[in-house]
């Protein structure tokens, strides 16, 4: 571990914190910039041991794009689920689906699991690290394999790119 | 001052005895100990004798030194005729007792203790008779009770001794308390405790409303000490003490203290109907009871004890009569009694040690083996019987003649003479019995030591001296009276009196006849003792000690049952008591109160608030209804907390909302932690009645709160808060007034508050440190499946949330002075974020990653806050004075620096440390494989 | 206009809160109740924010943030408890 | 402004906090810090007594804010006396504990210091809410100390003690709320001023608040029917802790004096304290009686001592309720005596218990006892003092109380209760003492443990204080009389505390 | 309230977010109340409510950004936080339900695997 | 409005009081929490209740009474400390006394 890694373990994250600080205090004065940077360095430093061990984001932009798509998906699928809940809740056919993971990084898996949960209609109920599967509960499922394929295409692949 | 010396010399002597005992422990040095012990009393006696001329000139020597003037307690001594007489008896007989004890305790380890105690006792006794100040006298009065207690329990291995000692202490100690009351009242009436003042205030005392009570209390003290019926019961049981003690305390001196007190106060309080009837009747009863019981005692010391009681009754009777001549007779008999009773006890002691028994049914015919003792005993025994030429004869005759002089009240003038004659008869009988039974009356039966052990001749010397003195008094009564007793009698009446005329007494015919009747009757009675004893055996046997002990036991049992019934260890009951205590007086006070509605107008109903209020109520009621199901109840409690938070937010209290919310979650987490070891449900165990009672209490309490709230809310508010609003910015440097109050105006409260939090955490640490929840080990497994210990997804998110949460707490912390927030809330946010790490990653995992332990964090927080407060001293301001300034730095611009922020940092640090300390230690309890012993 | 809409929106959230409470009350399982409480917390964030808008103070943001944080922690604690019988281990 | 005044609060706070920071300190260092702090407190106690003797009211404006807006500390003779008493008591307790009982649990010394901070704060503060805060400080520390050493009895008693006091704290807050709602202020002097001028319609509500406060302080002071937590709690606590607790009930008494005689006692015509005092009189007498009965029925020396505490509370509160200056002075003297003596007995129970083979301090157990003579003599002297026999402080104080009360109506009830309870104490102590020290003992095992000189000396010094209090009673009495006189001049207190604020008609100064 | 000076468009946008949020959140809560088993009920609140509240927060963000001038991102932070935590909450609750072997509704196609 | 608030306070207090009179430590803890809610709200309302007027200088025109808020804040913290303490104590007592009855013994089991 070199000196920079010791004192500044995550420069990108430090910047992010500083920015967050400025947004929070809603002031871009020099004092706050300095303070934000100080906190940005200080907080990662004291919490470095808590930070996930392996996770390293390789590509920032694809990640942002991923989140944007996710936002849209959330809104879209929300509408679908709303319709189902409101108009024909009795005709829902829920079911559990086992999703075989290709991702290996815990951090990436977490993002995938969260994504699955956030998109209405599916909830990640369990992550089996030994088997490398996610157990998904779907509110309305007609074809399990189709669901798995969809998730793999839409979310797992981009994530794999970002993290590997 | 040298009068005071008289009192304190024996203390010096006692100390010397103690030292000599420590220096020469063991049984072989009794002789030396006795010699040491004799010095102080002997000096006292000599000093007293040297005072005699001045006393005889009628002088009352008074010496006074202020001690506690606030309560009228002075170190004051008085030496007049009365005190001189008593003091001389005390020291004189004391010296002889020490000589006697030198032989009595020969070869015993306990001798040293005896010499110490006997001198202490002498101090106490001299103190009583020489005190000029009544409160001061009381000091010594209690001391005699105490030393007597110790001396009765001298042979502490005996159960009887212990019980006897306790009984005497309770009775005489209780009497002492009554006496305290009486003397205090007397002092209040007179305005002084000096005897001179009291004696000069007769009219004031007697005419005061409180006189009857005062007199009763004082007499209660005197009667208990002087073993008057029915308080006499302690005296026979005091005979468990070694014989020198019985001879000294329980016949010659201490028991006379009550008589002394009555004689002393007679001029001030006597001469009333009440005085006469209280004392006379008590004396008469005591006289008869003592004499009657004495006849049937088989124990020599028992007989002597009851005879003492009888004689004390007799003297009491005389004092009660109140006339000067009666007083003369009383003091004369008091002196002669001391002179004949002490040697009789000594005789009993010698017989006891020689034969190993005190039972007169066994001890017979000792004249053969102990002729000298027999010869000496003739005199005191005859004196006790009141045979002619003996001192006792004269005093009894004096009694008879005085009894005839009583004219009023009318019942007394015939009853008393008959009564005393009968008592005289009994006393002749028991006197004859003790002499005849011991020294004659055939052969001894089954004595432990036979032939009796030889006792040294020296042991007879004190007996001889006392017997001789007794004889001398009998032979030359007038001279004795004139030189010693007359002065005392004058002191008891505070007037010049003519001398008692003993020649007139010898010529009086009726008393002589009464005396004859008593004598003949007594001898007849003794001769007829066989059948009488048989009759007496038919009577139910009563042992006062057992009765006393039974009464005590019953009292104790009563006390225990009462206490147990009230203090039964039921928290529910205690809480109900507290509620009743809070509700009942308020109900009583406000029962008819009509001012609940104040003058302010009611405000409009806000539907949102009503909605919130309804949910708040419903959730609270839900908690109460479903409290048996613990986890659901906890969830409902969270709802309540949430809506309290919303209420704070709604009613312009953002700081409170933040605080309430964070605290609520932490509290629920803590409760959940605890719940995992508690049963999941509460059994339904309250009966219907209990539920109704509790509902009533709860309803009343709630109604009270509602009424109070309504009353206050409908009244206009006038508060000091305007000042805070006005000075918050200019004086406190912050716009969030609540925060400025917390860290500045009332920063001291906050300092206390975080101290409470810190202590709570340290306390949790301290008392869970060694707590082991062993049973968990069995149920704990490393179950995989759905219930894995640390779900990966949770762990990932929690870890990422930590830096953000810290940033947020920094934000909340820094803005707190001007906007809602502050150190406390920031601290809780930090703590919650870290708690999440514990939950997600496990105790061990998180603990390894914490930068510091938590206790030093708490301490540091407190130190930061305190030292910030102390900082203001440097500039001469009081503790916790805040300072702030707006700085302008180039580039950076304007910013504010406030000591309040530093103070808040202390708050923050303490909160983080305390919260985590509690959680981590609770977590540790639950953890099967926790990290070592200490967490935090 | 916003001022007229807000009470309506608040009313909708009140209904949502009532629905949450209904689930909280009937269960049937403790998980349902926890879920109801979690939802209630989230809805009350909205209530807080709406109140803030209604009063146009802008000072209740921290309260919203804290409810989010605390609601999450509370839910995690409770589910952890259900899963393991322990909250911290 | 005299900064020494804050020391009785700051010193223990700093010491306690420092001990936490240095949590790895070995017991020896902890002890020296604890003892050092107590010694300092004694010195400041003496300073306070002298200072209060010179100046009637010494004020300390925390944060330099003018009362009633800021919190003010008030040092007068009464608070000075309490400070010194607490300091002395704590010194002995810490010394005693330093012979080993402080090792039975963690952080004894730190907790002890926090406890002292709470007590001293309660004595000094002139603000009612601040009083609440310091009550909580002293309570939480006392919970911790009560549980020090652990064990089932302590857990059970501790649970009751804690829950009851939590209920009490809730009541305290309620009363504070009512008072603030009606008066709009928290400073005691200002409250007194406002209450004296309160509108007729508010008076019953204010009186009800005073009754609530009576319950609150009654719980702390152990007034019937709020006292049942006490016997088990005190007898469960470890000896030095129980000894320190001797002062705790007195805090309740002190608070009652301050609140009822000053806050509710300013209006001389129709003082608002009448109702509370009227309730206090009979309950205090019954408390006293129950204490006496409990003393007789106690099964162990610690329980007996706990009931002695109740007796002393009964006497203090009964005298307080008579609302008389002279009597208050007398009861303050009694407070000194009873605090020291109950502490002595808690320590003595432990001392004796340590040298008994079995049964610790239980009366029903017959057991060999080492050092019978030394311990017996100490017990005798202590018993004499406790039973208020001469020549110890108890005698003087009781005589003074009886004397001063005899001028007042219904004094005979008090007299009877005091004298009879005295008798019960004598009976109980003689039973205990004769049973322990006089019963024949056969020691079965080989060697008897050496007498702990430190512990014994501590007890002896405390007894010597009781004796000295009697020998030098007069100056103490003069001091306390002056203290009581000040208490009975609430207007002087109000003027001193509020200063100019009063004359400006309660308007804030900016 | 000085919302009167607000541009109409902004006001409409704010109102849209408010109403949309309210409706979405209500649907979530309806789902919670109406759906058949615990696994189904999980879907409603964890997402719908999050989204609904998110809408409200966006409305607030816009409102206060206008009111105070400058970007008021605090609400965004809350939204972000909600979106990060909601899936985890749902995940944990689903786990708990599975662990407690809660019954699925009869219409369920595939039940949970036994563990 | 005053009546609504008064009744709410009364209900909170009543439920709290009812629960602290129960026999199990957990119920008592619940009761103490409810009671402290009631008491804190009571103290809070003693400053009179106003909406949209937080005591932040410059934010609004009318300010609510800040003092009770500060007091309640202190009270909340203290009651949190106490609750935490009493919960742990209850746990300790339940472990040591083998019963979570407030008196440490199960009236249905131990007493004959
Ligand atoms: Na015989
Ligand atoms: Na702050």
Q: Tell me the per-residue pLDDT of B602-623, one tens digit each, with 9 for 90 and over.
A: 888 999 999 999 999 999 999 9
**Closest to D473 in 3D by CA, of B4, B75, B192, B133:** B75
Work out the minimum CA distance from E1 to partner chain A, whole angstroms: 22
How many angstroms is it from B360 CA to the middle of ligand 1?
4
Question: ∠D185-B757-C89 over CA atoms, to 5°?
Answer: 150
Is the confidence at residue D507, as pLDDT, over 70?
no
Ligand closest to CA B437: 1
Work out the minimum CA distance from C1 to partner chain B, whole angstroms: 19
String of DSSP letters for B600-613 = SPPPPPPHHHHHHH
Confidence of residue B450 (pLDDT cuts 50, 70, 90): confident
Chain C residues lying within 8 Å of E60, measured CB to CB: 49, 52-53
Is the confidence at residue D509, as pLDDT, over 60?
no
Return the pLDDT at E3.
44
Return the pLDDT at F109.
47
Does residue A26 or residue B478 have the better pLDDT?
B478
Which of A23, A97, A135 has the CB atom closest to E71's CB atom? A23
Under an 8 A CB cutoff, do F59 and C55 touch? no
Would you say B76 and B63 are in contact if contact means Cβ atoms under 8 Å apart? yes
Q: Is the peptide bond before B551 cis (omega within 30 degrees of 0)?
A: no
CB hemisphere CA count around B779 (13 angstroms): 11
Return the pLDDT at A54.
56
Question: ∠B456-B462-B463 over CA atoms, to 5°?
Answer: 90
Assess B790–A contact: CB distance below 8 Å, yes or no: no
Residue range of the domain that includes F12: 2-109
**B782 three-state secondary structure:** coil
Please give the Cα distance from B95 to B100 (Å, whole number). Answer: 9
Assess B772–D contact: CB distance below 8 Å, yes or no: no
Return the pLDDT at B776.
54
Confidence of residue C50 (pLDDT cuts 50, 70, 90): very high
Confidence of residue E1 (pLDDT cuts 50, 70, 90): very low
Q: What average pLDDT does the segment B501-521 reach?
A: 87
Is the confidence at residue D5, as pLDDT, over 70?
yes
Sign of the Cα torsion D156, D159, D163, D168 reads positive
Would you say B753 and F78 are in contact if contact means Cβ atoms under 8 Å apart? yes
Work out the minimum CA distance from B674 to partner chain A, whole angstroms: 26
Does residue B491 or residue D87 have the better pLDDT?
D87
Q: What average pLDDT does the segment B282-287 reach?
A: 94
* Chains A and E lie in contact, requiring 3 or more CB pairs less than 8 Å apart: yes
- How buried is residue B532: exposed, middle or buried, by Cβ count under 10 Å (0-12/13-18/19+)? middle
Q: At what angle do helices F2-20 and B688-713 cross, to 10 degrees?
A: 150
Question: ∠B231-B234-B238 over CA atoms, to 5°?
Answer: 155
Assess D419–B contact: CB distance below 8 Å, yes or no: yes
Q: What average pLDDT does the segment C9-26 reach?
A: 94
Under an 8 A CB cutoff, do B617 and F40 touch? no
How many angstroms is it from B299 CA to the middle of ligand 1?
10
- How buried is residue D442: exposed, middle or buried, by Cβ count under 10 Å (0-12/13-18/19+)? exposed
Under an 8 A CB cutoff, do E95 and B791 touch? yes
Residue of E nearest to B785 (CA): E115
Q: Which one of F20, F26, F43, F68 makes the best mutation probe of the B interface by having the most chain B beta carbons within 10 Å?
A: F26
Q: What are phi and psi of D74, to 5 degrees?
A: -125, 120
- Structure tokens that stand for D426 in this block: 């004598």
Under an 8 A CB cutoff, do C57 and F51 touch? no
**D475 three-state secondary structure:** helix
Neighbours of ion ligand 2 (CB under 5 A): B 739, 816-817, 822, 904
Under an 8 A CB cutoff, do A93 and E109 touch? yes
Chain A residues lying within 8 Å of E108, measured CB to CB: 93-96
**Which of B820-834, E65-79, F4-18 comes out lowest in average pLDDT?**
E65-79
Would you say D150 and D174 are in contact if contact means Cβ atoms under 8 Å apart? no
How many interface pairs between C and F have CB atoms less than 8 angstroms apart? 9
Return the pLDDT at B163.
87
Q: Is the peptide bond before B397 cis (omega within 30 degrees of 0)?
A: no
H helix or E strand, kind and range, residue D235: helix D230-236
Assess C39–E contact: CB distance below 8 Å, yes or no: yes
Look at the pTM and tell me if it is higher than 0.90.
Answer: yes
How many angstroms is it from B148 CA to the middle of ligand 1?
30
Return the pLDDT at D504.
60
Ligand closest to CA B817: 2
| pLDDT tens track for B874-922 | 888 889 888 888 777 776 666 777 888 899 999 999 999 999 999 988 8
Q: Which one of B564, B583, B627 makes the best mutation probe of the F interface by having the most chain F beta carbons within 10 Å?
A: B627
Q: What average pLDDT does the segment B141-148 reach?
A: 93
Confidence of residue F95 (pLDDT cuts 50, 70, 90): confident
Under an 8 A CB cutoff, do D186 and F67 touch? yes
Does residue B505 or residue D454 have the better pLDDT?
D454
Would you say B147 and B120 are in contact if contact means Cβ atoms under 8 Å apart? yes
Assess B632–C contact: CB distance below 8 Å, yes or no: yes
**D60 three-state secondary structure:** strand
Which of B786, B787, B794 has the CB atom closest to E88's CB atom? B794
Going by C-beta distance under 8 Å and a sequence separation of 6 or more, which residues neighbour residue D475? Answer: none
String of DSSP letters for B390-417 = SHHHHHHHHHHHHHHH--SSTTHHHHHH
Is the confidence at residue B36, as pLDDT, over 70?
yes
| pLDDT tens track for E7-38 | 889 999 999 999 999 999 998 899 899 888 89
**C28 three-state secondary structure:** coil
Domain locations in chain A as residue ranges: 11-47, 60-163
Q: What average pLDDT does the segment F78-103 reach?
A: 91
CA distances from B558 to B553, B567, B569, D297, D300 (A): 8, 14, 18, 8, 16
- Look up the ipTM and state it: 0.95
> How far, rounded to the nearest angstrom, does the alpha carbon of residue B447 sit from its chain's CA centroid?
45
Q: What average pLDDT does the segment B455-477 reach?
A: 92
Under an 8 A CB cutoff, do C53 and E59 touch? yes
Question: Among residues of chain B, what percentage have pLDDT more than 70?
Answer: 97
Please give the Cα distance from B96 to C61 (Å, whole number). Answer: 98
Domain locations in chain D as residue ranges: 3-443+451-491
Under an 8 A CB cutoff, do F32 and D166 touch? yes
Would you say C53 and E62 are in contact if contact means Cβ atoms under 8 Å apart? no
How many angstroms is it from C26 CA to the middle of ligand 1?
96
Q: Is the peptide bond before A36 cis (omega within 30 degrees of 0)?
A: no
Q: Which range is most confident: A17-21, B397-401, D78-82, D263-267?
A: D78-82
Work out the minimum CA distance from C8 to partner chain B, whole angstroms: 11
| pLDDT tens track for C59-77 | 888 888 889 988 999 999 9
Confidence of residue B585 (pLDDT cuts 50, 70, 90): very high
Chain F residues lying within 8 Å of C57, measured CB to CB: 52, 54, 59-60
Is the confidence at residue B250, as pLDDT, over 80?
yes
Q: What average pLDDT does the segment A53-57 reach?
A: 61
Which of B784, B791, B808 has the CB atom closest to E92's CB atom? B791
Is the confidence at residue B715, as pLDDT, over 50?
yes
Is the confidence at residue B781, as pLDDT, over 70?
no
How many interface pairs between B and D have CB atoms less than 8 angstroms apart? 366
| pLDDT tens track for D102-137 | 998 889 999 999 999 999 999 999 999 999 999 999
Alpha helix segments (H runs only) across B153-299: 159-190, 195-199, 202-207, 211-225, 234-237, 243-247, 257-269, 273-295
Domain locations in chain C as residue ranges: 2-84
Q: Check residue D101 and report its DSSP letter.
A: G
Residue of E nearest to B807 (CA): E77
**Closest to D129 in 3D by CA, of D182, D177, D167, D197:** D177
Ligand closest to CA B357: 1
Under an 8 A CB cutoff, do B786 and E88 touch? no
**B354 three-state secondary structure:** helix
Would you say B53 and B487 are in contact if contact means Cβ atoms under 8 Å apart? no
How many angstroms is it from B817 CA to the middle of ligand 2?
4
Residue of D nearest to B172 (CA): D423
Q: Please, what is the average pLDDT of chain B? A: 89
Q: Which one of F14, F26, F32, F40 makes the best mutation probe of the D interface by having the most chain D beta carbons within 10 Å?
A: F32
Which of F27, F42, F47 has the CB atom closest to B709's CB atom? F42
Return the pLDDT at A79.
82
Bridge partners for B788 per DSSP: none
Under an 8 A CB cutoff, do E39 and A123 touch? yes
Q: At what angle do helices B854-874 and B899-926 cross, to 10 degrees?
A: 160
Q: What average pLDDT does the segment D328-344 reach?
A: 96
Would you say E21 and C46 are in contact if contact means Cβ atoms under 8 Å apart? yes
Which of E49, E78, E96 has the CB atom closest to C43's CB atom? E49
Confidence of residue F110 (pLDDT cuts 50, 70, 90): very low
Would you say D155 and D196 are in contact if contact means Cβ atoms under 8 Å apart? no
How many angstroms is it from B816 CA to the middle of ligand 2?
4
Would you say B902 and B751 are in contact if contact means Cβ atoms under 8 Å apart? no
Under an 8 A CB cutoff, do B892 and A107 touch? no
| pLDDT tens track for B83-127 | 999 999 999 999 999 999 999 998 888 888 999 999 999 999 999
CA distances from A136 to A95, A109, A139, B655, D43 (A): 8, 13, 10, 41, 72
Confidence of residue D40 (pLDDT cuts 50, 70, 90): very high
* CATH value at residue F75: 1.10.287
Q: What average pLDDT does the segment B25-44 reach?
A: 90
Q: Secondary structure of B449-507 in the HEC alphabet?
A: CCCCCCCCHHHHHHHHHHHHHHHHHHHCHHHHHHHHHHHHHHHHHCCCCCCCCHHHHHH
Assess E80–C contact: CB distance below 8 Å, yes or no: no
Chain E residues lying within 8 Å of A121, measured CB to CB: 43
Chains touching chain D, criterion 3+ CB pairs below 8 Å: B, F
- Structure tokens that stand for B347 in this block: 């005789």
Residue keyed to tokens 């002062």? D247
String of DSSP letters for B56-110 = HTT--EEEEEEEEGGGTEEEEEEE-HHHHHHHHHHHHHHHHHHHHHHHHTTT-TT
Assess F74–B contact: CB distance below 8 Å, yes or no: yes
Q: Check residue B359 and report its DSSP letter.
A: B
How many angstroms is it from B300 CA to the middle of ligand 2?
89
Return the pLDDT at D61.
94
- Structure tokens that stand for F96 in this block: 């040591």
Q: What average pLDDT does the segment B463-490 reach?
A: 91
Please give the Cα distance from B748 to F68 (Å, whole number). Answer: 16
How many angstroms is it from D113 CA to the middle of ligand 1?
72
Q: What are phi and psi of E114, to 5 degrees?
A: -75, 140
Is the confidence at residue D75, as pLDDT, over 80?
yes
Confidence of residue A8 (pLDDT cuts 50, 70, 90): confident
Would you say D13 and D115 are in contact if contact means Cβ atoms under 8 Å apart? no
Instruction: Report helix, strand and coil shares of chain B as percent, to nearest 5.
Output: 75, 5, 20
| pLDDT tens track for B843-858 | 888 888 888 889 999 9
């Amino acid at each position: 571990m070199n000196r920079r890694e010791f004192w500044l373990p995550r420069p990108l994250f430090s910047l992010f914190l500083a920015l967050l600080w400025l947004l929070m205090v809603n002031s871009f004065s020099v004092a706050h910039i300095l303070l934000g940077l100080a906190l940005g360095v200080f907080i990662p430093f004291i919490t470095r041991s808590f930070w996930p061990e392996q996770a390293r984001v390789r590509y920032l932009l694809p990640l942002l794009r991923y989140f944007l798509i996710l936002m849209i998906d959330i809104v879209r699928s929300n509408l679908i689920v709303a319709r189902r809940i409101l108009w024909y809740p009795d005709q829902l056919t829920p079911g559990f689906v086992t999703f075989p993971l290709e991702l290996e990084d815990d951090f990436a898996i977490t993002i995938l699991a969260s994504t699955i949960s956030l998109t209405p209609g599916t909830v990640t109920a369990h992550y089996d690290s030994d088997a490398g599967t996610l157990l998904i509960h779907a509110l309305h499922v007609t074809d399990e394999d189709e669901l798995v394929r969809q998730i793999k295409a839409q979310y797992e692949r981009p994530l794999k790119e970002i993290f590997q | 001052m040298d009068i005071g010396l008289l009192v304190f010399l024996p203390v010096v002597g006692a100390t010397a005895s103690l030292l000599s005992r420590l220096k020469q422990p063991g049984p072989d040095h009794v002789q030396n100990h006795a010699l040491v012990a004799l010095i102080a009393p002997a000096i006292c006696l000599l000093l007293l004798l040297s005072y005699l001329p001045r006393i005889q000139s009628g002088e009352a020597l008074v010496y006074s030194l202020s001690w506690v003037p606030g309560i009228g307690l002075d170190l004051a001594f008085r030496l007049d005729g009365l005190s001189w007489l008593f003091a001389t008896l005390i020291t004189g007989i004391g010296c002889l007792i020490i000589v006697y004890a030198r032989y009595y305790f020969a070869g015993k380890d306990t001798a040293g203790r005896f010499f110490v105690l006997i001198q202490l006792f002498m101090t106490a006794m001299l103190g009583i008779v020489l005190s000029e100040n009544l409160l001061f006298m009381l000091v010594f009065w209690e001391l005699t009770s105490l030393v007597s207690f110790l001396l009765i329990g001298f042979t502490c291995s005996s159960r009887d001794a212990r019980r006897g000692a306790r009984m005497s202490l309770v009775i005489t100690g209780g009497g002492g308390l009554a006496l305290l009351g009486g003397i205090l009242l007397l002092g209040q009436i007179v305005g002084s405790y000096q005897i001179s003042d009291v004696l000069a205030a007769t009219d004031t005392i007697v005419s005061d409303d409180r006189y009857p009570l005062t007199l009763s209390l004082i007499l209660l003290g005197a009667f208990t000490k002087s073993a008057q019926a029915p308080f006499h019961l302690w005296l026979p049981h005091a005979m468990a003490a070694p014989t020198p003690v019985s001879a000294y305390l329980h016949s010659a001196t201490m028991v006379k203290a009550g008589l002394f007190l009555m004689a002393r106060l007679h001029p001030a309080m006597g001469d009333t109907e009440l005085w006469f009837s209280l004392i006379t009747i008590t004396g008469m009863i005591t006289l008869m009871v003592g004499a009657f019981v004495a006849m049937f005692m088989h124990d020599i010391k028992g007989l002597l004890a009851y005879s003492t009681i009888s004689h004390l009754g007799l003297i009491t009777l005389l004092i009660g009569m109140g006339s000067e001549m009666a007083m003369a007779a009383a003091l004369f008999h008091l002196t002669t009694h001391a002179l004949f009773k002490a040697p009789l006890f000594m005789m009993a002691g010698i017989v006891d040690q020689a034969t190993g028994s005190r039972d007169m049914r066994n001890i017979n015919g000792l004249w053969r083996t102990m002729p000298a003792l027999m010869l000496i005993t003739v005199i005191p025994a005859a004196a006790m019987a009141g045979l002619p030429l003996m001192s006792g004869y004269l005093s009894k005759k004096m009694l008879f003649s005085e009894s005839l002089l009583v004219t009023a009240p009318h019942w007394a003038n015939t009853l008393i003479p008959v009564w005393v004659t009968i008592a005289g008869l009994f006393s002749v009988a028991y006197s004859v019995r003790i002499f005849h039974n011991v020294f004659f009356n055939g052969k001894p039966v089954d004595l432990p030591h036979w032939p009796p052990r030889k006792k040294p001749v020296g042991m007879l010397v004190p007996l001889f001296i006392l017997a001789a003195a007794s004889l001398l008094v009998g032979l030359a009564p007038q001279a004795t009276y004139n030189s010693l007793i007359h002065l005392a009698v004058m002191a008891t009446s505070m007037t010049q009196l003519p001398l008692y005329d003993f020649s007139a007494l010898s010529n009086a015919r009726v008393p002589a006849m009464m005396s004859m009747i008593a004598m003949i009757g007594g001898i007849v009675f003794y001769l007829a003792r066989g059948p009488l004893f048989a009759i007496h055996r038919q009577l139910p046997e009563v042992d006062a000690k057992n009765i006393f002990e039974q009464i005590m036991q019953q009292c104790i049992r009563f006390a225990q049952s009462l206490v147990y019934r009230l203090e039964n260890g039921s928290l529910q009951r205690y809480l109900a008591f507290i509620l009743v205590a809070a509700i009942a007086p308020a109900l009583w006070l406000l029962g008819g109160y009509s001012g609940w509605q104040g003058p302010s107008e009611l405000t409009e109903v806000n539907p949102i608030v009503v909605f919130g209020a309804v949910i708040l109520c419903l959730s609270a009621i839900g908690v109460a209804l479903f409290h048996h199901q613990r986890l659901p109840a906890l969830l409902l409690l969270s709802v309540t907390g949430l809506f309290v938070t919303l209420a704070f937010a709604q009613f312009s209290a953002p700081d409170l909302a933040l605080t309430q919310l964070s605290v609520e979650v932490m509290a629920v987490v803590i409760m959940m932690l605890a719940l995992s070891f508690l049963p999941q449900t509460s059994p339904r165990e309250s009966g219907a009645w209990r539920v109704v009672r509790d509902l009533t209490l709860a309803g009343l309490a709630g109604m009270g709160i509602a009424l109070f709230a309504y009353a206050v809310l409908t009244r206009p508010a006038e508060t000091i808060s305007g000042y805070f609003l006005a000075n918050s910015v200019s004086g406190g440097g912050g716009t969030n007034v609540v925060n400025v109050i917390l860290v500045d105006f009332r920063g001291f409260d906050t300092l206390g508050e975080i101290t409470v939090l810190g202590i709570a955490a340290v306390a949790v640490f301290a008392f869970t440190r060694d707590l082991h929840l062993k049973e968990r080990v069995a149920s704990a497994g490393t179950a995989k499946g759905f219930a894995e210990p640390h779900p990966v997804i949770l762990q990932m998110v929690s870890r990422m949330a930590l830096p953000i949460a810290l940033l947020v707490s920094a934000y909340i912390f820094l803005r707190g002075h001007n906007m809602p927030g502050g150190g406390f809330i920031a601290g809780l946010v930090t703590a919650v974020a870290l708690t999440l790490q514990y939950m997600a990653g496990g105790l061990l995992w998180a603990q390894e990653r914490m930068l510091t332990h938590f206790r030093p964090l708490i301490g540091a927080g407190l130190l930061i806050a305190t030292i910030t407060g102390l900082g203001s001293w440097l500039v001469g301001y009081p503790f916790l004075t805040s300072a702030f300034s707006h700085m302008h730095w180039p580039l950076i611009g304007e910013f504010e620096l406030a000591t309040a922020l530093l103070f808040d940092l202390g708050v923050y640090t303490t909160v983080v440390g305390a919260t985590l300390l509690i959680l981590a230690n609770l977590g540790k309890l639950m953890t099967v494989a926790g990290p070592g012993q200490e967490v935090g | 206009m916003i001022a007229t809409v807000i009470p309506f929106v608040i009313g909708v959230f009140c209904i949502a809160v009532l629905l949450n409470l209904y689930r909280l009350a009937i269960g049937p399982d403790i998980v349902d109740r926890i879920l109801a409480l979690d939802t209630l917390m989230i809805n009350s964030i909205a209530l807080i924010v709406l109140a803030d808008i209604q009063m146009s103070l802008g000072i209740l943001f921290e309260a919203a943030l804290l409810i989010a944080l605390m609601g999450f922690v509370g839910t995690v604690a409770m589910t952890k408890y259900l899963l393991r019988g322990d909250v911290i281990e | 402004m005299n900064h020494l005044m804050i020391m009785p609060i700051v010193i223990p706070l700093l010491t306690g906090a420092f001990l936490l920071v240095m949590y790895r300190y070995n017991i020896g260092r902890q002890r020296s810090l604890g003892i050092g702090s107590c010694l300092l407190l004694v010195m400041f106690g003496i300073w306070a007594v002298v200072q209060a003797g010179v100046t009637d009211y010494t004020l300390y404006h925390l944060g330099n804010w003018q009362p009633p807006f800021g919190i003010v500390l008030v040092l007068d003779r009464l608070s000075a006396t309490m400070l010194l008493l607490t300091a002395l008591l704590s010194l002995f307790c810490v010394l005693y504990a330093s012979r080993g009982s402080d090792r039975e649990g963690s952080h004894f010394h730190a907790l002890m210091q926090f406890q002292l901070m709470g007590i001293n704060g309660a004595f000094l503060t002139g603000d009612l809410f601040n009083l609440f805060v310091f009550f909580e400080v002293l309570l939480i520390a006392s919970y911790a100390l009560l549980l020090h050493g652990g064990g089932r009895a302590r857990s059970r008693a501790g649970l009751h003690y804690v829950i009851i006091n939590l209920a009490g704290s809730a009541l305290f807050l309620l009363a504070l709320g009512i008072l603030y709602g009606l008066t709009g202020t928290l400073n005691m002097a200002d409250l007194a001023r406002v209450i004296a001028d309160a509108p007729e319609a508010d008076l019953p509500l204010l009186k009800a608040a005073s009754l609530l406060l009576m319950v609150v302080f009654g719980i702390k002071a152990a007034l019937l029917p709020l006292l049942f937590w006490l016997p088990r709690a005190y007898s469960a606590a470890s000896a030095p802790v129980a000894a320190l607790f001797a002062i705790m009930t007195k805090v309740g008494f002190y608070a009652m004096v301050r609140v009822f005689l000053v806050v509710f006692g300013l209006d001389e015509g129709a003082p608002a304290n009448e109702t509370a005092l009227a309730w206090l009189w009979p309950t205090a007498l019954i408390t006293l009686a129950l204490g006496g009965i409990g003393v007789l029925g106690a099964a162990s020396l610690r329980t007996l001592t706990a009931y002695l505490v109740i007796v002393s509370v009964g006497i203090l509160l009964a005298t307080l309720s008579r609302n008389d200056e002279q009597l208050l002075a007398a009861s303050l003297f009694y407070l000194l005596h009873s605090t020291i003596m109950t502490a002595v007995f808690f320590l003595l129970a432990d001392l004796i218990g340590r040298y008994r083979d079995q049964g610790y301090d239980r009366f029903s157990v017959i057991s060999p006892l080492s050092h019978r003579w030394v311990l017996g003599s100490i017990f005798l002297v202590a018993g004499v003092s406790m039973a208020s026999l001469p020549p110890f402080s108890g005698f003087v104080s009781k005589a003074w109380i009886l004397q001063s009360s005899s001028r007042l109506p219904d004094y005979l009830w008090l007299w009877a209760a005091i004298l009879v309870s005295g008798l019960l104490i004598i009976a109980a102590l003689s039973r205990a003492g004769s049973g322990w020290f006089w019963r024949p003992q056969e020691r079965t095992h080989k060697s008897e443990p050496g007498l702990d000189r430190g512990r014994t000396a501590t007890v002896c010094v405390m007894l010597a204080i009781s004796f000295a209090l009697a020998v030098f009673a007069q100056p103490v009495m003069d001091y306390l009389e002056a203290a009581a006189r000040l208490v009975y001049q609430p207007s002087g207190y109000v003027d001193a505390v509020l200063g100019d604020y009063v004359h400006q008609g309660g308007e804030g100064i900016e | 309230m000085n919302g009167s000076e607000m541009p109409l468009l902004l006001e409409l946008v704010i109102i849209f977010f408010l109403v949309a949020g309210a409706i979405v959140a209500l649907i979530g809560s309806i789902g919670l109340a109406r759906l058949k088993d615990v696994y189904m009920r999980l879907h409603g609140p964890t997402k719908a409510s999050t989204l609904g509240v998110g809408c409200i927060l966006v409305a607030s963000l816009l409102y206060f950004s206008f009111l105070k001038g400058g970007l008021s991102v605090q609400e965004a932070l809350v939204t972000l936080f909600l979106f990060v935590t909601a899936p985890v909450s749902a995940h944990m609750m689903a786990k708990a339900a599975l662990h407690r072997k809660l019954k699925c509704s009869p219409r369920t196609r595939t039940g949970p695997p036994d563990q | 409005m005053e009546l609504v608030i008064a009744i709410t306070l009364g209900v909170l207090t009543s439920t709290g009081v009812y629960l602290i009179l129960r026999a199990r430590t957990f119920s008592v803890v619940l009761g103490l929490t409810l009671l402290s809610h009631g008491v804190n709200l009571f103290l809070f309302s003693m400053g009179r209740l106003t909406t949209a007027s937080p005591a932040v200088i410059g934010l609004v025109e009318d300010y609510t009474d800040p003092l009770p808020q500060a007091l309640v804040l202190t009270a909340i913290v203290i009651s949190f400390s106490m609750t935490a303490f009493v919960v742990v104590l209850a746990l300790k007592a339940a472990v040591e006394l083998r019963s979570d009855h407030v008196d440490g013994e199960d009236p249905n089991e131990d007493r004959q």
